[in-house]
Amino acid sequence: MRDAQTTTDSIATVSGTTFSSMVLEATGPIVVEFMSYGCSHCRALEPAIQRVAASRRRNERFLRVNVALEPDLVETYAIAGTPTLVMFRDGDVVGRAEGPHPAESTIVKLLAEAFEG
């Protein structure tokens, strides 16, 4: 799900089998993007979230969940639409943002509110 100008993917994909070890048992701040490859809002968000993930890689870890493949995670985290960003710190949910937020500054502000606020 990269646009033509993005050369690397800074966001790893997690599954239902890896979510616990990569998110719930992990320490520090983690951003999980619940997305769908068919979602136009997700495609609009992708370039901005890739740039933020690449620039903040030392501060937060970014992961993605494909909602089409992970209905149990969708239910567990009450994902009503995509994209949805869920912020975790040391396995606990500390923030959430739903809907398209394609501006990098908006994403950075959301992260600051969740992780620093």
Which domain CATH number covers 25? 3.40.30.10
Instruction: Give me the pLDDT at residue 6, please.
Output: 40
User: Which residue spans within 1-117 are E strands per DSSP?
Assistant: 12-13, 29-35, 61-66, 84-89, 92-98
Q: pTM to 2 decimals?
A: 0.88
If one compares 25 and 2, the residue with the highest pLDDT of the two is 25
Quick check: is 88 in a domain?
yes
Quick check: is 26 in a domain?
yes
Instruction: Please write the tens of the pLDDT for every residue from 50-98.
Output: 999 998 878 899 999 999 999 999 999 999 999 999 999 999 999 999 9
Q: Is the pLDDT of residue 11 over 70?
A: yes
